[in-house]
């Protein structure tokens, strides 16, 4: 039996596109379906000025297929020396949509991130005043804190003090992975929200580590116990306006993933919506999918909903997705949810 669902064209509120060859290869998977994406600035070197962001935006637009009307929303990579006037001017001119905080050393290309959060308080003051959103990679980088505890310790030690000091600062806690983060967002005021990735709704740490290590399931924050995945899924399907999709689709060449020191990141852009449709359907909450992928994020970012719609169709037989994409510089493995997918997108 075919089943159809028409929804407002979705947006992805956390996306890695990289640059050069990878950018050209991965962008169409997102731009075909999504209306807008918040583009992560963790290139080498990172996007730290409005001029960098504008030049990067031009390269993204240049790489777009002609018939895709996708809008990249640019971000600045926050450092302890970010020029606050540049930030404010770029935000006022709509050249940037948010600012990204990476604790130094927390993840891919974060070595130029922040060590001393207090040094950012002047910048937060300005962002609070002008309404610029702070996107946060919420993991503490302390060798004494176990990697599976880094998110909830970050909430206690760093995020909560920031939010208490700047109650009107709009904050997105990115790619949450724990029940503690879900509870924190649920009990915060309306200025605090969270993105949830596709892969964290599918995998737990057993899937990554039991029966052999699966490097393509390694991402940061690292997947946690099953009870945390269930808490994330319940938050995503709840319709609660504080939770929305940020895929964190993060392409790396297979040679960098399947290595003695593998990179973090799951490349979910090609099959994200079919996976989500299936998960929401399994929870008998397909009606909440549109809020999670198309409505809640736009509202939080104070942007109009996309005017177009897309159609999701449930097919009789499993839909095939490529398991890799091939680029002139190497192959990139597409995230494997581990179950057949029956939904396809007619954009």
Residues involved in catalysis: 248
For residue 6, give the 3-state DSSP assignment. Answer: strand
Residues 6+ apart with CB under 8 A from 229: 200, 201, 202, 203, 204, 223
Beta bridge partners of 171: 134, 192
Task: Supply the minimum distance, in Å, between the C-beta of residue 220 and ligand DOR.
Answer: 4
Alpha carbons 138 and 155: distance in angstroms, whole number: 7
Residue 42 interacts, among Zn ion, ligand DOR, none and using kind-specific CB cut-offs from 5 to 8 Å, with ligand DOR
Torsion angles phi and psi, residue 309, rounded to 5:
-125, 160
Among ligand DOR, Zn ion, none, residue 265 binds (CB under 5-8 Å by kind)? ligand DOR
Q: To the nearest whole angstrom, how small is the minimum distance from the Cβ of residue 220 to Zn ion?
A: 8
Residues near ligand DOR (CB under 6 A) are 16, 42, 107-108, 137, 219-220, 248, 250, 264-265
CB 100 within 8 A of CB 41: yes
Q: Find the shortest distance in angstroms from Cβ 199 to ligand DOR.
A: 9
Q: Which residue's CB is nearer to Zn ion, number 102 or number 166?
A: 102
The yes or no reply on residue 12 touching Zn ion (CB under 5 A) is no
Q: Bridge-partner residues for 71, per DSSP?
A: 36
- Which of 151, 248 has the CB closer to Zn ion? 248
The residue behind tokens 């990878």 is 22
Nearest by Cα to 251 from 23, 75, 71:
23
> Taking the complex as a whole, how short is the minimal distance between the CB of residue 256 and ligand DOR, in angstroms?
9
Nearer to Zn ion, 128 or 248 (CB): 248
Strands (E), 231-289: 243-245
The single residue among 12, 180, 248, 288 that binds Zn ion, judged by CB under 5 A, is 248
Separation of alpha carbons 287 and 268, rounded Å: 22
Binding partner of residue 76 among ligand DOR, Zn ion, none, CB cut-off 5 to 8 Å per kind: none
* Contacted by 107, from ligand DOR, Zn ion, none: CB < 5 to 8 Å by type: ligand DOR
| CB-based closest residue to Zn ion | 248
CA 330 to chain centre: 23
Nearer to ligand DOR, 171 or 310 (CB): 171
Nearest residue (CB) to ligand DOR, 22 versus 298: 22
Cβ proximity to Zn ion, 222 vs 285, nearer residue: 222
Rounded distance between C-alpha atoms, residue 40 and residue 17, angstroms: 8
Nearest C-alpha neighbor of 100 from the set 223, 13, 12, 30: 13
Stretch of 24-32, 163-171, 202-210, 243-251 lying at the interface with Zn ion (CB under 5 A)? 243-251
CB of 210 to Zn ion, least distance (A): 25
Report, in Å, the least distance between residue 267 CB and ligand DOR.
9
| β-sheet bridge partners, residue 282 | none
Choose the one of Zn ion, ligand DOR, none that binds residue 240, judging by a C-beta under 5 to 8 angstroms depending on kind. Answer: none
Q: Are strands 192-196 and 243-245 parallel, antiparallel or unpaired?
A: parallel
Q: Where does this chain touch Zn ion (CB under 5 A) — which range of 141-149, 177-185, 248-256, 311-319?
A: 248-256
**Rounded distance, CA 223 to CA 229, Å?**
8
Paired residues of 328 in beta bridges: none
Interface residues with Zn ion (CB under 5 A) are 248
């Amino acid at each position: 039996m075919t089943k159809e669902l028409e929804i407002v064209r979705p947006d992805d509120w956390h996306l890695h596109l990289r640059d050069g060859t990878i950018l050209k290869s991965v962008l169409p998977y997102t731009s075909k379906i999504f209306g807008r994406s918040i583009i992560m600035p963790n290139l080498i070197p990172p996007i730290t000025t409005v001029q960098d962001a504008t030049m990067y935006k031009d390269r993204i637009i240049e790489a777009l297929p002609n018939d895709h009307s996708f809008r990249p929303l640019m971000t600045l990579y926050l450092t302890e020396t970010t020029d606050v006037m540049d930030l404010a001017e770029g935000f006022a001119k709509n050249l940037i949509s948010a600012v990204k905080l990476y604790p130094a050393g927390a993840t891919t290309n974060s070595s130029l991130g922040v060590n001393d959060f207090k040094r950012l308080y002047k910048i937060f003051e300005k962002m609070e005043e002008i309404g610029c959103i702070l996107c946060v990679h919420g993991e503490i980088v302390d060798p004494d804190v176990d990697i599976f505890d880094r998110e909830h310790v970050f909430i206690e030690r760093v995020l909560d003090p920031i939010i208490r000091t700047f109650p009107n600062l709009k904050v997105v806690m990115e790619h949450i992975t724990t029940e503690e983060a879900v509870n924190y967002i649920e009990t915060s005021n309306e200025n605090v929200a969270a993105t949830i990735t596709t892969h964290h709704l599918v995998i737990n740490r057993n899937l990554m580590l039991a029966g052999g290590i699966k490097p393509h399931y390694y991402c940061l924050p690292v997947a946690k116990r099953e009870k945390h995945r269930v808490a994330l899924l319940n938050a995503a399907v709840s319709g609660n306006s504080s939770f929305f999709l940020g895929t964190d689709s993060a392409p790396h060449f297979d040679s960098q993933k399947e290595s003695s020191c593998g990179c973090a990141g799951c490349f979910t852009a090609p099959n994200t919506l079919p996976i989500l449709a299936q998960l929401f359907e399994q929870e008998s909450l397909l009606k909440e999918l549109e809020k999670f992928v198309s409505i809640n994020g736009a509202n939080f970012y104070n942007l109009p909903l996309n005017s177009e719609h897309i159609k999701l169709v449930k097919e009789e037989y499993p839909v095939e997705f490529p398991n890799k994409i091939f680029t002139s510089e190497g192959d990139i493995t597409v995230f494997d949810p581990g179950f057949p997918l029956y939904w396809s997108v007619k954009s």
